[in-house]
Structure 1
Amino acid sequence: MRLLLVEDNELLGSAVHKGLVRAGYAVDWSHSGKGVLSSLASCNYDCVLLDLGLPEVPGDVLLKSMRTRGFSVSVIVITARCGIADRVKLLDMGADDYMVKPLDLDEVASRVRAVLRRVQGKAPASGNPEHGPLKLYPSNRMATWHGEPVSLTNKEFWLLEILVRRKNQVLTRSQLEEALYTFDVEVESNAVEVYVHYLRRKLSPDLILTVRGVGYQLGPECRNV
């Protein structure tokens, strides 16, 4: 699962970012509202954590713009406003949930899980990606192979998830790098190759095919033995 954190406060943002990464999520962190709509258009986020007190573009204006432009991504608003009228206004504008500062990191992760469960409950059964004997459970960052649980690191899971969700496509290395890293982390040149190697070793050598000169793609389901 990939989240977008929009928070300009360095200390709070850093704490929330680290807490959500520890909880097993891929988290991109934007320090202002500028460029958020472009990010939503270019990346398939599962949830946005949106601070209201942002520079350049206030969070409530951004939330309204997101819904006006048709972005259906779940949004949890982070606010210092605690009045009933403020909460009602935010929910009516399209927020899925809200949290009042100061934040508890365990509660943040819990709220994210709750919002994602609601979304998955409305989704068809195919919401849990699968490919032959491989099944993924993104809400728990868990995978099974022939019904047996497989221990995966966060980055192994993120890479595997994008391959399964887009299994009919050949993905370039740069596309796969986006699944591994957040905006503020430098990409290692051989990271994709390393994690593909780990996944082949843990699951099957035939699971991920190398398309020379292009990138990677999942192999046919019948070959995943």
Structure 2
Amino acid sequence: MEKNIANLKVLIVEDDDLLANQVKREVTSLGWEFVIVGTVRAARAKFAKVAFDLVILDRMLDDSEDGLALIRWFNELETKAPGILVASRLGATHDHILALDLGADDYINKPYDLEELNARLRAVARRVRGKRVPESVEVWEGMEIRTINRTALWHGEAISLRPQSFEILKVLVSLKGEYISRDVLWRSVWESYKSLPPQETVINTALSRLRGNLSVLPDAPLIINNRLGYRLTLKKADNQE
């Protein structure tokens, strides 16, 4: 496990024992500590005692309180909120938008694929690191993103990018080769339109342009996508998958 996402403390807010055990297994496989509670009230009580790094949050809980109430509570605190992955059967677009606008980092619909859950957890964990330790430079393999002067470099050579392409690349590099879902990519890059569902044509055109920018680089990194979302990879690593 990479150091920047190792030794995390995770609060699992889930009242379904079967699903809680599934999440527990994935969290354990990542080497993280965890506590399981079944209500928002219990979650508040635990968080008052332990500084959790990440919360996996159901919405329809035993106390009939929407799990999103916990995010609202985090927003009222003076300390920095943990990373939040909402996992819920409420899977409509407006449910996603509501949670993400409140401050959730990602949203996964139930029933979920365990491989996807694991990937989403790792991606949120990296964003937690970004929240807690603000950085002006992101580095992944030979790629360097300098956020203050908005410059991208590949093995020390500047890459000519449009502002939108830079924003997409910045998000992908920050995840260190892990996946980001289409919904989260849309709301991370197209912030002015995050209340709209992801626009396939806009995303595809922007990614095609960025792929073109990257394709001229020596040993260019690739942007791949599948059901888990999008991620950066090296050609060599991609051939080994």
TM-score by length of 1: 0.52
The Cα shift of 1:119 comes to 2.6
> Residue 74 of structure 2 corresponds to which residue in structure 1?
66
The Cα shift of 1:124 comes to 3.8
Distance 1:46 1:115 in 2: 10
> Residue 206 of structure 1 corresponds to which residue in structure 2?
none
Match of 2:93, as an amino acid? I
Gaps of 5+ in 2: 1-7, 136-241
Question: Highest relative contact order (Cα 8 Å, sep 6+), 1 or 2?
Answer: 1
Number of aligned pairs? 126
Does 2:33 align with 1:15? no
> Residue 94 of structure 1 corresponds to which residue in structure 2?
103
The Cα shift of 1:91 comes to 0.6
Distance 1:115 1:6 in 2: 16
Q: Is the 8 A contact 1:5 1:48 kept in 2?
A: yes
The Cα shift of 1:2 comes to 1.0
The CA deviation string for residues 31-62 of structure 1, in whole angstroms up to 9 with x for no partner, is 22222112112111110000001121320222
Match of 1:66, as an amino acid? F
Distance 2:100 2:54 in 1: 15
For residue 82 of structure 1, give the secondary structure of its aligned residue in structure 2.
coil
> Residue 47 of structure 1 corresponds to which residue in structure 2?
54
Q: How does 1:200-215 map to 2 (within 5 A)?
A: none
One of 98, 112, 115 as aligned partner of 1:103: 112
Distance 2:10 2:112 in 1: 17
Q: Is the 8 A contact 1:60 1:90 kept in 2?
A: yes
Q: How does 1:98-137 map to 2 (within 5 A)?
A: 98-124=107-133
Q: Is the 8 A contact 1:37 1:66 kept in 2?
A: no
RMSD: 1.9
Cα distance, 1:66–1:122 mapped onto 2, change above 3 Å: closer
Match of 2:69, as an amino acid? V
Cα distance, 1:48–1:124 mapped onto 2, change above 3 Å: closer
For residue 96 of structure 2, give the secondary structure of its aligned residue in structure 1.
helix
Cα distance, 1:125–1:59 mapped onto 2, change above 3 Å: closer
The Cα shift of 1:99 comes to 0.6
For residue 112 of structure 2, give the secondary structure of its aligned residue in structure 1.
coil
For residue 120 of structure 2, give the secondary structure of its aligned residue in structure 1.
helix
